[in-house]
Structure 1
Amino acid sequence: MQKGEHLAPNFVQDFHPFGRIPVLDDDGTRLFESRAIREYLVAKYGPKSALNRRTEQSYPELATYEQAASVEYSYFDLTMKTLAYEKLFKGFMGRGDPDKATVERLEIDLVKVLDHYEKVLSRREYLAGNQFSLVDIYHIPWFEFLPRLVLQDEITKRPALSAWWERVSNRSMWKGLMASH
């Protein structure tokens, strides 16, 4: 991908209509978008895994999972992505200084999301219920990134969120991944 293979017409036609990564070709099943790929991999290769939250659940449990996934995608990820761009990547890419009003608005939006998470996590162990799930995994990279945005205090001043982050960031899978970088 360093040579731009993902921008070639055949890649766009065969794998990803927008010429982006990641993509997955699993014996002819072709998917793009990381969340879809993760859900597929868990459903196919880990059907009995605790991560597979789409089977053997009550309707309320499934709705809770879907709601948590939606909050992450619509509010947390979008806010973090835009905030990271404004505070770090914009200048690095030579696109000017951060827009102070945008950063302020995004930090307010982030606080709202984290306040919501604090409320949720005061009632249950994980964001989508009482079991670790893909929704928790979706959050890990951005939570790990918060110190680079000088926002780590937003975790520590919320006891339930801080306890969740402690549980999640101390999981062996995450520690192993971080040790390899």
Structure 2
Amino acid sequence: MILQIHGVPTSTATRRVAVVAKELGLPYEVVPVDMMAGEHKSEKYLKEKHPFGRIPILFDGDFRVVESRAIARYLAAKNPEKGAKLAPPPSDPQAYARFEEAASLEYCDFDATTGKIGFELLVKKYRNLGAPNEAIVAQGYEDLKTKMAAYDSILAERRFLAGDNITLADLFHLPNGYALEQHLGTDWASYGPNVGRWWKEISALESWQAVKDGA
């Protein structure tokens, strides 16, 4: 059965799910959600797809999963022969701990910071929400510099954020990182040689190249 990903092909969250599906070799189709027309806020959508009116939503037959990172974890868990490296199970407590560390860093530090910058400089422009708040942008870049210095230190000891194997935590960085790289000219190598080496490797993955410009 082909997975259905309901979302917008170019959205960061939709591509976060798509790159994981590609990495696992899982066939899927994207069912477009017309956010410009407000489909995601309709009563039907809120009841049948996502109660918070967000994307993406995964339908695996009749089973529904919302939120991109939860969807990715579900796909990895359902396909343990490939997914065990992408999301180490609790039965391997040390690998599991390292993975959850890395996943927490992505969500709490990288996503929060790049999301703040991206909202001010990209989303506001796209949605006609006015000029960016330059103070927020400046603080965002300062925060990013600090956080990526810590990343460079971690990556000096590990090939990937959780160890020698690529995990979901690495893949989760790709949509936001690519957005800043492509639209704002961010050079990830400027944040340290280890960050640069890591970013070059994960962004060259065939799975990401297949979905980087649209799931």
Range class of TM-score, shorter chain: 0.7 to 0.9
SS for the counterpart of 2:52 is coil
Residues of 1 paired with 2:123 and 2:59: CA distance?
A: 31
| Percent of aligned pairs sharing the same letter | 34
Match of 1:32 in 2: 66
For structure 1, the residue ranges without an aligned partner over 5 or more in a row are: none
Q: Please point out which of 156, 160, 165 is paired with 1:126.
A: 160
State the AA in 1 paired with 2:80: P
State the AA in 1 paired with 2:71: I
Q: Report the CA distance shift for 1:38/1:107 in structure 2 as closer, same or farther (over 3 A).
A: same
How far has the Cα of 1:177 moved from its partner? 2.9
**Is it true that 1:145 corresponds to 2:165 in the alignment?**
no
Residues of 1 paired with 2:103 and 2:174: CA distance?
A: 13
State the AA in 1 paired with 2:167: S
For structure 2, the residue ranges without an aligned partner over 5 or more in a row are: 1-32
**Is it true that 1:99 corresponds to 2:110 in the alignment?**
no
- Which string of whole-angstrom CA distances, capped at 9 and with x for unpartnered residues, describes residues 82-129 of structure 1? 101112222343222221211111111111221111011000000122
Match of 1:116 in 2: 150
Say what the alpha-carbon RMSD is for the aligned residues. 2.0
Question: TM-score, normalized by length of structure 1?
Answer: 0.88
SS for the counterpart of 2:164 is coil
Residues of 1 paired with 2:213 and 2:106: CA distance?
A: 26
Question: TM-score, normalized by length of structure 2?
Answer: 0.75
State the AA in 1 paired with 2:118: A
Higher relative contact order (CA 8 A, sep 6+): 2
Residues of 2 paired with 1:171 and 1:93: CA distance?
A: 31
Q: Report the CA distance shift for 1:81/1:60 in structure 2 as closer, same or farther (over 3 A).
A: same
Q: Please point out which of 88, 91, 94 is paired with 1:60.
A: 94
SS for the counterpart of 1:16 is coil
Query: How many corresponding residue pairs?
Result: 178
Runs of 4+ in structure 1 off by over 6 angstroms are none
